[in-house]
Structure formats: C-alpha cells, structure tokens
Chains A and B, each alone.
Chain A
Amino acid sequence: MPKRTWEDFKTGDVAVYGPRVITREEIVAFSAEFDLQPMHMDEAAASATLLGGLAASGWHGCALMMRMIADGFLLDSTSMGSPGIEEVRWLRPLRPGTQLRLRVTVLDSRASKSRPDMGLTRMHYELIDAADTVITSMTSTMMFGRRQPGAAA
C-alpha cells in the first residue's frame, strides 16, 4: 500500500489511535532523565504539590503523543516534520496506569507556497483516557510530501 501523502488528510477527518498504558516506571524514568521535579518522581512529594499525587511530566505526555502519532500514521506517510506547535494544554494530571488513546482531527490543509512538493496539514490532537476525558490537547501543523508535486491545491 502506498504511503499516505498530504492529499490523504482531509479537513474534518477524525481518527483514534492506541490504546497505550503509561506505567509508573515509565513516568519516573522519563522524569529522571528530563524533568526531575518531585511531583513527577515521588508519590509523597507529589501529594504536597498542586498535582495532588504522582503524575507524568507534561513533556512526557507530549513525547507519548509523538510516539502514538508516529505509530498511528506518520511512519507510513510522507512526513517532512513540523514547523511547530500552536498550543499544548496540560489540562489534567497524567497518572500511572492510565490507558491512553489519541484522537486526531484534521482542522485544515493547504499547499505550501514556497515548496511545490509539500503541503501543510493543521491538526488537533487529544490525549484521552478510558472515560474519554482529555488529559492533554495540542494543535499543530505537519508538513507532508505531495503525491503530485506542483499540482494546483
């Protein structure tokens, strides 16, 4: 099956990927490497913070979203990376044992003005738990290669 290209992501498309469970061990290991704050490392220390108990670094949630995006559709696409993120909102603590799914909505799509071989796809991502509660949301643009470079948008 050919790779998914820019043309395959249509405004309004919704897809859900996962599930994936985040473990306490993963949370502590990520925090030990990248975000050594007690609220992400230790239950007792975390209970005294605004998080009210051990929770993953928000960046860990982002990294997991990236992995679920990669496994969900990006590795089988003509991805050319991303110029950036409009917004990430850490809405709720990401607790050990949570079963995560990723809901992806295509917001809009446009051809690149500067690169005829590329299109830009703006997407909204929601990291959701088993009860469909949104834990982290993200809006960003992805760059994809086009099936027909230079064709009119």
Chain B
Amino acid sequence: MSFFEDIVVGESVLVGRHTFSAEDIKAFARRFDPQLFHLDESAAAASHFGALCASGWHTAVTWMRLMVDYQRRSNEAALARGERVGHVGPSTGFRDLKWLKPVYVGDTIDYRTEVTETRASNSRPGYGLMTLLATGTNQKGELVISFVSTSFVERRGKAS
C-alpha cells in the first residue's frame, strides 16, 4: 500500500482467488464453527444447505489472508522501485456483511475490493481512514460475500 494521499476512490482490484477444499472447510469448522453442516457431508446433505459448505467466517477470513498477501506484493514492488510504503491498519471494524450464497466444496472465489470513501481521522492525525467494499464471487459469477471495511492508512507526511 502506498500512502493515504495516494488512494484513488473508485479503484477496484482483484486481491486474490481461493478454492475451498473439504479438508480446509472442516479444519476451520472444527476450530471455530463446529456446526454439522460445516463438518460432516451427510449431515450437511440433510440440512437446508444440501451439501458441505464453509463457515461464513472462513469465507471472510480468507479475504483477509488474500488482502494481506496482495498488500505485501504491492509493497515489495514499490520498495523495488525505490518508493516508500505506508502502513495500513488496524481496522476499526466492518459493516453490512452479507453471506449471499453458501460456499461449497470445490468452489473458487475471486475476492475484490473497491475503495468507496476516504476521510480524515480525528483521533489519529498521522493517519486517514479508508473504506472498502470487499466482495467474493464464485466460479458461476454469483456473489457469495460482501462487506464494507474501514481501516487506518498512514499519511505521507507522517514518516518524512
């Protein structure tokens, strides 16, 4: 990530892509969301989901993982060009998270973010606040998750 001043409202990027395996879905569910429709194929088949599907939190944290990887690649590229990079985070939270479709075994999700708003931070003068719309779309083109996330981003002036 560059600095707060460099953010372009409306800019949209594909941050990454992930395919959900049965093993990953069950491993996450065992730790954090052990409901049977996330753990067991036959119980899931008998549920209203109809088949094993990922915990919604698994779908959400996978965005975080891919976003961090994307930012690291961007930062490495900027550093290689001899540029400075700004610090992003922490986030103050998110809102309007919608789990629109289940994520089933084998589904491949494309995660995208679009900057929807930037504003000054009253509490942290060295930082601004960036609001993103994050989305995940499956291989059929169906939106499976969307949410609105807000994070602190370092201002260019702070480190100079």
Chain A residues positioned under 8 Å from B89 (CB to CB):
37, 39, 49-50
In the complex, per-residue mask of A56-71: 1 if CB is within 8 Å of any chain B CB, else 0: 0111001110110010
For the complex, give the distance between the alpha carbons of A39 and B90 in Å. Answer: 8
How many residues from B make CB contacts under 8 Å with A? 36
Chain A residues positioned under 8 Å from B124 (CB to CB):
50
The interface residues of chain B, by DSSP majority, are classed as: mixed
Q: Which of B50-81 contact A (CB under 8 A)?
A: 55-57, 60-62, 64-65, 68-69, 72
User: Smallest CB-CB separation from A86: which chain B residue?
Assistant: B95
Q: Is A16 an interface residue (CB 8 A)?
A: no
Q: Is A17 an interface residue (CB 8 A)?
A: no
Across the interface, do A58 and B68 meet the contact criterion of CB distance under 8 Å? no
- Of the candidates B33, B47, B91, B98, which one forms a contact with A84 in the assembled complex, judged by CB atoms under 8 Å apart? B98
Q: Least Cβ distance of A135 to chain B in Å? A: 12
Across the interface, do B94 and A87 meet the contact criterion of CB distance under 8 Å? yes
Q: Is B14 an interface residue (CB 8 A)?
A: no
- Of the candidates A35, A50, A90, which one forms a contact with B68 in the assembled complex, judged by CB atoms under 8 Å apart? A35
Q: Which 7 A-B pairs have the closest CB atoms?
A: A85-B97, A84-B98, A63-B32, A89-B93, A87-B95, A34-B61, A59-B61
